[in-house]
Structure 1
Amino acid sequence: MTPIQFHTQRIKTKASELGFDFCGVSKAEFLEDEAPRLESWLNRNMHGQMSYMANHFDKRLDPRLLVEGAKSVVTVLLNYYPEKTLPEGEGEYKLSKYAYGMDYHFVIKDKLKDLMAFIHEEIGEVNGRVFVDSAPVMDKAWAKRSGAGWVGKHTNVISREMGSFFFIGELILDLELEPDGPIKDYCGTCTRCLDACPTNAISEPYVVDGSKCISYFTIELKEAIPDEVKGQFQNWIFGCDICQDVCPWNRFSRPHRTPELNPHPSLTTFTKSDWEEISEEIFREVFRRSAVKRTKLEGLKRNILFIKE
């Protein structure tokens, strides 16, 4: 075994010990295939009011502009599929599964910092950075290149082993590691995600118009939700899982093993009236370290009112 292979194996073993469900490696280089796709997507204004998506175009496509001398991108996946889907009652308000527990930024960042510390202790002077959705990194592209899965027609990464309910994080390192390489696309002729999207956000296979997505309307959009999508939200008040829920590959989803991602006990008993009457105090308590804080109580109430009216 060469030193490069040895270092790669040790990092993957440690990632598994830290609770990650996958760890793969790709070479840090310019994302040539993604560049024209990203440019076209931005030119068609599919990012809506997510202006940050248009920032740092060059850095988004080249990790060597984020970490000097970068040689490898280490991609990790963390399953977040819950033991029980909330809520269980018919007609109740719905949260995207990723928002049930603690904000994933905290959970993954802590684990990746531990992985980085391990690299420094066991391998030596390695320059690198931790990334969890917090910088211009095209995580799906790197996940695909590392063999984590393929990018499905709904543009989420799909793993043959665990479906698509997982978070993605990266380490960009100036350490040479053995790259894994991508796997093939197994979507075939299936169009369930396109057919199921109530707002037609999946405008064509492998293209999502972000400005039409329920997740965009309920999280990213800061102003009033347009009337033309009224009646199309199917009771989603924060995020949306429709395109993933209908994907046949998610029959392989299994409950996660990360206690921090379990919902706050109060959340498991929330009813429609609890949501409609939620106070600032309860919001702060239940969603203290949750991704739901991003929309603030005001945004959550706007979403509930939009569905209720």
Structure 2
Amino acid sequence: MITRNIINNIAKQLNIPAIGIAPWPLPKNASQFIDTNKPCPFINGTLEERLTGNTQLINPRSAIVCLFPYYIRPEDMPANQKINLPRYAWGPDYHLVIPNYLTRFGNALQALDKTVEFEIHCDTSPLADRYMAYLAGLGVFGKNRALIHPTWGSYTSIGTLLTSCEIPADTPMEGTCLNCHSCIKACPGQSLGTPVFGYDTCKSYLTQKKGHLTDSEIATLQRSSLIWGCDICQEVCPHNRNVPTTPIPEFQQIDPYVNPIDLESLTNKTFKAAFGHRAFAWRGKATLLRNAQIIDKDYSSKDE
């Protein structure tokens, strides 16, 4: 029988610093936490698919939710390090790193009980990962919709093992963030502070949006130096003060800067070969170069 102590020991052996158990099936009121009247195009699945996770398991009973911190303290970085990428994209793509950990986790469960079934979910699955992490007692939500863990703050990526193991679920954390509204005030696109998240003015979304950008969208991009993503709402959050450096070895190998000039001569094939293992690569080089033209004055001047 797989117990919570076994789960904790496997997580410790794999160096996963924060785990919790979410119930399955989801609570009856789950749809009010998952559904939205204005879904971001990058969210996968319909409401029904997000409630079921499109699971192929015959008898899912519980979900093991794991947090993978990625924060690097300034004192642990090289001096005068150039930065034009968000923190989650400094190291190898978490879509590649996390499934490897989850597979090892599932294999460890099956080594103890060959009847165990498991299924991996990490971001591109329709499973509502932040809601699952909340149910698993791993944090509260900030005004910026980020999950905030007491130790690791909001600088975490989430991976979930949906399993046939019948493990008692954890209790969601009580309370809220500090309600300081720092993230709302600092947001470049003023996307926060309303009942429905304004994804279409969020800088992170706009850096991934293809095609023509309006003058107001260009102005939003220019409010910070990142040519991909946006960290501002996390940087100003008091819950992220004194966050430790990640214990995940893969995320300690960082490269926070991509030189737009180096991208210009690459074909789509060579770009994929060079950067396919990075989280910013999925939109291709053209979107990055467009953003650099808008944001990076030094790069823009070279093209004049």
User: Alpha-carbon deviation of 1:79?
Assistant: 0.8
C-alpha displacement of 1:89:
5.9
Q: 2:8 aligns with which of 9, 12, 24?
A: 12
Aligned to 1:278: 263
Mapping for residues 109-148 of structure 1, pairs under 5 Å: 109-148=99-138
The answer to whether 1:98 aligns with 2:98 is: no
- Contact 1:46–1:211 under 8 Å retained in 2: no
What corresponds to 2:233 in structure 1? 243
Cα shift at 1:16: 2.0
Q: 1:241 to 1:31 in 2, by over 3 A?
A: farther
- Match status 1:295 vs 2:283: yes
Residue 24 (1) aligns with residue 20 (2): yes
How big is the shift at 1:291?
0.7
Superposition deviation, residue 277 in structure 1: 5.3
Query: Over aligned residue pairs, what C-alpha RMSD do you find?
Result: 2.6
1:150 pairs, out of 132, 140, 144, with 140
Q: Distance in 1 between matches of 2:289 and 2:77?
A: 19
Question: Distance in 1 between the 2:30 and 2:291 partners?
Answer: 33
Q: Which amino acid aligns with 2:203?
A: I
CA contact (8 A) 2:99 2:120 kept: yes
* Aligned partner of 1:212 among 175, 180, 201: 201
SS in 1 for 2:120: strand
How far residue 119 of structure 1 moved from its aligned partner, in angstroms, is 0.5
Instruction: Percent identity, please.
Output: 26
Q: In structure 1, what is the equivalent of residue 210 of structure 2? A: 222
SS at match of 2:20: strand
Are the aligned partners of 1:31 and 1:62 in contact in 2 as well (CA < 8 Å)?
Answer: no
In structure 2, what is the equivalent of residue 175 of structure 1? 165
- 1:28 touches 1:64 (CA, 8 Å); kept in 2? no
Q: Does the CA-based 8 Å contact 1:280-1:297 persist in structure 2?
A: no
Q: Tell me the residue number matched to 1:187.
A: 177
Residue 220 of structure 2 aligns with an amino acid whose one-letter code is: Q
User: 1:172 is paired with a residue of what secondary structure?
Assistant: strand
**Which segment drifts farther, 290-299 or 255-264?**
255-264
| Contact persistence 2:192–2:198 (CA under 8 A) | yes
Quick check: 62-71 or 240-249, which moved more? 62-71
In the TM superposition, residue 284 of structure 1 has moved relative to its aligned partner by: 5.3
Report if the CA contact (8 A) 1:28-1:70 is conserved. Answer: yes
1:61 pairs with one of 51, 60, 74? 51
Deviation at 1:158, TM superposition (A): 0.2
The one-letter amino acid paired with 2:248 is T
SS in 1 for 2:210: coil
SS across alignment from 2:119 = strand
Shift of 1:103: 0.5
Alpha-carbon offset, residue 46 of structure 1:
4.3
**TM-score when scaled to structure 2?**
0.86
Deviation at 1:126, TM superposition (A): 1.2
CA contact (8 A) 1:64 1:70 kept: no
Provide structure 2 residue ranges, at least 5 long, that are not aligned to the other structure: none
- Verify the 8 A CA contact 1:193 1:247 in the aligned structure 2: yes
- Aligned to 1:305, the other structure's residue is in SS state helix
